[in-house]
Amino acid sequence: MNKAKLLLFYFGITFVVTLFLICGLGANQTGNVEQTTIPRSDVISIDTISRFGKLERPEVLFLHDQHTDAMEKKGKDCKVCHQSDKGQMSQKFMTLKDEGAQALIDIYHGTCIECHKKTSDEGEKSGPVICNDCHNVKSQVVSSRQPFGFDKSLHFTHSEAVEKKCERCHHEYDEKAKKLFYAKGKEGTCRYCHKDKTIDNKISIKLAAHVGCINCHIKTIAEKKDAGPIKCRGCHGVDEQKKIEKKKSITRMQREQPDTTIIKIGQDIDTRMNLVPFDHKSHEEYNDNCRGCHHEGLDTCSKCHPITGIQEGNYISLEQAMHRIKAKQSCLGCHENNKQQKECAGCHSLIRKNISYNDSACATCHIKKDQETDSKDGIEAIKLQSARLLKSRPLVINTFNAEDIPEIVKIKDFTKKYQPVEFPHRKIINTLTNNIKNNKLANYFHSDKGTICQGCHHNMPLTKKPSRCTNCHGKPFDEMNMSRPGAIGAYHIQCMGCHDNMGIDKMGCTDCHKLTEN
């Protein structure tokens, strides 16, 4: 009996120790991963050989800025690793052209390992020389690279720096002469030609940006002038991006674009719908670049999207191009996206996304011609006509008079644990109205009295005295409408959802509900 107890005792000790070791080892492993995983903006995946076939070993994660900094300390620069072609530094490593898989392997292994060995022999800290130290699946670094956009503020800065010599960056390709040339008056965003991936002789936007920008910055630095960054973190580091100055006053880019125009099908201005005047100048101010609308080129929308749709525009008609809610380039899609701003999101995030636009909403854009509006064609006539129509569009935040809006509404639809909620109704209406008073988009579409009330009083007509919430949200479970919550659920979804989407501080139960004395 004593022997059995002794065996049981030793078994228990062994089990506890084993369990402790397993848990402890797992915790240490997890801790090590968290401690050694370092976010960096200069992580480059070297997988160049993959274009010639399947990789035999994992790709190499290369820390570019770390190597650049090491070269600077020795008084060396990019030429150590990059060759030049016609005055332009190549983005390739130690070559101008990839000759094949084995040639690339020899270049990388020979150059990198030799450099690491030499640095180590000199008594300095160096990089790896063993295969698995470079081709390592479990890397200690993770990329924190942030995409870099060239907005109108940066464009203005660069334009001023080169004294408005647009040819320094903008070019087109002459197929016959097989060379680049500058086409004055046809300047567009780089992405119109340079797509996400290299196609034929058009290099990718990533490669084009690095070749063009870095080479220009290097030359400018050589001229002893202020220039942009040449290191990864300068553009792709979170902290560095925050340091980039945003110009408040920006001169408008001139491409002979109109201040106002009419969105129409081809040259025909007479359509079944009322005309849509477009304030081009205002929309330029709202957007960081032209590509928000002109996503494939600076031609008119109807060139790619005529009335029936053509192959160049993916067979999307003009009507579809302007009204697709899920497409950010369309009018309605852009408007829907703007509703996600915190000033608007409190109401719009809770409104059904598939709600149809009524005649009143359509009439906001499709304006009926008045007696002074001329229907003649021609650029000047269109400018005059669009300006008149835009001027006729009402721009007001319209809601009911203060005396028609209850100041306090008592919500009593809760358990006996809490006192009735005193809801500051008029204060909230005034706050919502003031938040969007300078928002033109909201002003145009909130022109009807009571529109802003429908953020809470949804699915109800525009009236001074909407129905009580409990008329629809009665019992907690409705077998006839399972998607309709009861009163308590509806109040909390609406109120807490609004607060969350508008970035209002989290609130506890007793911030709204005072406890009863019992």
Residue 273 pLDDT more than 50?
Answer: yes
Task: State phi, psi for 462 to the nearest 5 degrees.
Answer: -75, 105
State the burial class of residue 280 (Cβ atoms within 10 Å of its Cβ: 0-12, 13-18, 19+).
middle
Closest among 460, 461, 397 to 429, alpha carbons compared: 397
* pLDDT number for residue 173: 92
Sequence-distant (6+) residues with CB within 8 A of 228 are: 213, 216, 217, 220, 234, 235
**What is the arithmetic mean of pLDDT over 480-491?**
86
Confidence of residue 374 (pLDDT cuts 50, 70, 90): low
Terminal-to-terminal C-alpha distance of the chain: 61
The residue ranking higher by pLDDT, 418 or 374, is: 418
CATH of the structural domain 260-392, one choice from 3.40.50.720, 3.90.10.10, 3.30.470.10, 3.30.390.10: 3.90.10.10
The Cα 221–Cα 458 span in angstroms is: 60
Please tell me if the domain spanning 152-242 has the same topology as the one spanning 260-392: yes
* pLDDT number for residue 518: 62
The class (CATH top level) of 152-242 is alpha beta
Structure token pair of residue 130: 């063993």
Top-confidence range, 312-321, 396-405, 406-415, 474-483: 312-321
Residue 288 pLDDT more than 60?
Answer: yes
Residue position matching structure tokens 């993916």: 314
Residue 253 pLDDT more than 90?
Answer: no
> Which CATH architecture fits 402-512?
Alpha-Beta Complex (3.90)
The residue ranking higher by pLDDT, 382 or 215, is: 215
Cα torsion for 401, 460, 366, 339, to the nearest 10°? 80
The Cα 451–Cα 472 span in angstroms is: 20
**What is the arithmetic mean of pLDDT over 161-181?**
93
User: Helix, strand, coil proportions of the chain in percent (round to 5)?
Assistant: 45, 10, 45
**What is the arithmetic mean of pLDDT over 15-24?**
45
* pLDDT number for residue 2: 53
Sequence-distant (6+) residues with CB within 8 A of 337 are: 328
The Cα 388–Cα 375 span in angstroms is: 12
1-19: per-residue pLDDT in tens? 455 554 445 555 554 444 4
Confidence of residue 255 (pLDDT cuts 50, 70, 90): confident
DSSP-based three-state secondary structure for 61: strand
Residue 22 pLDDT more than 80?
Answer: no
Confidence of residue 156 (pLDDT cuts 50, 70, 90): very high
Closest among 300, 273, 246, 286 to 359, alpha carbons compared: 273
The Cα 498–Cα 518 span in angstroms is: 31
What DSSP assignment string belongs to 401-447? -GGGS-S-EEE--S-TTBPPEEE-HHHHHHHHHHHTTT-HHHHHHT-
* pLDDT number for residue 482: 80
The Cα 75–Cα 185 span in angstroms is: 43
Residue 30 pLDDT more than 60?
Answer: no
Domain ranges across the chain: 2-34, 39-143, 152-242, 260-392, 402-512
Confidence of residue 34 (pLDDT cuts 50, 70, 90): very low
State the burial class of residue 165 (Cβ atoms within 10 Å of its Cβ: 0-12, 13-18, 19+).
exposed
Strand 141-143 and strand 38-40: pairing?
A: parallel
Residue position matching structure tokens 């609308």: 293
The class (CATH top level) of 39-143 is alpha beta
Task: State phi, psi for 199 to the nearest 5 degrees.
Answer: -125, 115
Number of alpha carbons in the 13 Å side-chain half-sphere of residue 157: 13
The Cα 465–Cα 409 span in angstroms is: 12
Confidence of residue 400 (pLDDT cuts 50, 70, 90): confident
**What is the arithmetic mean of pLDDT over 343-371?**
77
